Structure 1
Amino acid sequence: MPTQPVQPAGPVSSAEKPAAKEPTLTAIKRRILSLANAEWEFFGSQRVIYDGGQESIPHVGYWEDEDESHIQRVSYYWQAVNKPGLSGLNCSQPWSAAFVSWVMEMAGVPESQFPPASAHWVYLSQIIRKSDGRYSAFVPHSIKEYSPRPGDLICASRERYGLPSVTRPLETYMLEDTKLHCDIVVERNDGSVDAIGGNVRNSVSRSTVALNKDGLLQPTRQRPWFLVLENRL
């Protein structure tokens, strides 16, 4: 008895399609993520969640001046940017750029690709000036055009008067002396990314940042994101 012909399958709905697989991380990206996570754990695994206009801290870790070990740890970050006289006791000195610089240095990223700096605008300006080359290690993107991945940096303004303008090409003079904050993306989930940064609520914190339906960052009052620095290493 002849069998019934197999009917061709209909189109697969977007809900049925398997999620796009994240690209395999390179060895240097794995080192960056491993170092950032280790520092986060050393500081007690503090969590911060940004969702829309809301910010919450479901778990509080150790602060920069909590005890001698954490005071000293922050001094290591400062040493990476040639400021050995500073430590966790200097609570009024923002150390988030020093933290990122230390992670990159310890991961083996050459200074020619990521110049260490005590302010985010300094290393961003130098990287952006070199980003036109085909073999650039780091490439800046507007948050409206690029979805962050593990190993990338996400950057927000800390200025009261508004965001730096991100254009094509980005004018580096607009970043000069601008107060910024950048975190290292360590994980991407459905609808959010996790990013680790220093000097976030007085600690090394892991922040969960909501993405929109297109997988893009959305600026909020607490974190007015404006730039993603793609890591091509």
Structure 2
Amino acid sequence: MSTPFQRKLATIAQEQYASYRFLRENQSPLLEQIERYWTETGHAFEGVEPPWSAVFVSWCVKQAGATSAQFKFSARHSAFVYEAIKNADQPNAAFRGHAVSEYPPKLGDILQNNRAGNRFDFAYASQHSGYVSHSAIVMEVGTDNHGRYLRTIGGNESDSVGMKEVRLDSEGLVVNLQGLYISVLECAL
């Protein structure tokens, strides 16, 4: 059963996808929205050359109502992942980081994956706050004729707001055959 915050976070991501999925990052009104992702999470906007996927996730989390004490709004996925992993054993933490092999994602969670050919794993992520990665918000978990899956929405996916489907095993864990996925941030709000 999802919480109101988890549903709100997934809805915000879905609304961004519905509004901007057919636009590229240098086209209006997506370009202006990307500037809001940066500035409304406390970062200077330097155009669309720097990756903006982490500020997309941060902006969605902030719009859903999380505070800076609950989530580290950052321009680097690794920064908010590192904080969530440090909070994994804290019962009152808003976001808790887990290995993809140990935690089945649910609505409102954040799925982190490698980018740029890197092969970082959960052990690495638990010790480092600065490395290249990507993450996206889980907006659906379900079953189809191929088995279990989840869908995520993220920013800066093919220079737009994009959706991806990720296969899950029979226990609801991310199928991670090639080590693409690093962690799942459990949304406990």
Q: What is the TM-score when the length of structure 2 is the normalising length?
A: 0.89
Residue 81 in 1 paired to residue 41 in 2? yes
How far apart are the structure 2 equivalents of 1:27 and 1:155? 23
Determine the C-alpha separation between the residues in 2 that align with 1:230 and 1:78.
23
Task: Tell me which residue corresponds to 1:179.
Answer: 132
| CA distance in 2 between partners of 1:150 and 1:161 (Å) | 26
CA contact (8 A) 2:74 2:80 kept: yes
- Counterpart residue number, 1:192: 149
Which residue of the partner structure matches residue 161 of structure 2?
Answer: 204
Match for residue 97 of structure 1 among 54, 61, 67: 54
Is the contact between residue 156 and residue 224 of structure 1 (CA under 8 Å) also seen in structure 2?
A: yes
Residue of structure 2 aligned with 1:137, choices 82, 91, 94 = 94
**Is the Cα–Cα contact under 8 Å of residues 78 and 125 in structure 2 kept in the other structure?**
no
| Aligned residue in 1 for 2:6 | 29
Preserved CA contact (<8 Å) 1:29 1:151: yes
Name which one, 1 or 2, has greater alpha-carbon Rg. 1
| Higher RCO (CA 8 Å, separation ≥ 6 residues) | 2
Q: Does the 8 Å contact 1:156/1:182 carry over to 2? A: yes
Q: CA deviation at 1:159?
A: 5.0
Q: Which sections of structure 1, spanning at least 5 residues, go unmatched?
A: 1-22, 45-60
Total equivalences in the alignment? 185
Aligned positions of 1:114-133 closer than 5 A: 114-133=71-90
Q: Is the 8 A contact 1:120 1:181 kept in 2?
A: yes
Counterpart in 2 of 1:64? Answer: 25
Query: One-letter code of the match for 1:64?
Result: E
More helix by share: 2
| 1:163 aligned counterpart, secondary structure | coil
Structure 1 stretches of at least 4 aligned residues deviating more than 4 Å after TM superposition: none
Which letter maps to 2:39? Q
Residue 188 of structure 2: aligned partner? 232
Partner of 1:209, secondary structure, is: strand
Q: Over the residues paired in the alignment, what is the CA RMSD in angstroms?
A: 1.9
Distance 2:125 2:25 in 1: 34
Is 1:156 aligned to 2:107, yes or no?
Answer: no
Residue aligned with 1:230, SS: strand
Deviation digits for residues 170-195 of structure 1 (CA, Å, limit 9, x no counterpart) = 8733x332111111001111111011
> Structure 2: 5+ residue runs without aligned partners?
none
CA contact (8 A) 1:80 1:101 kept: no
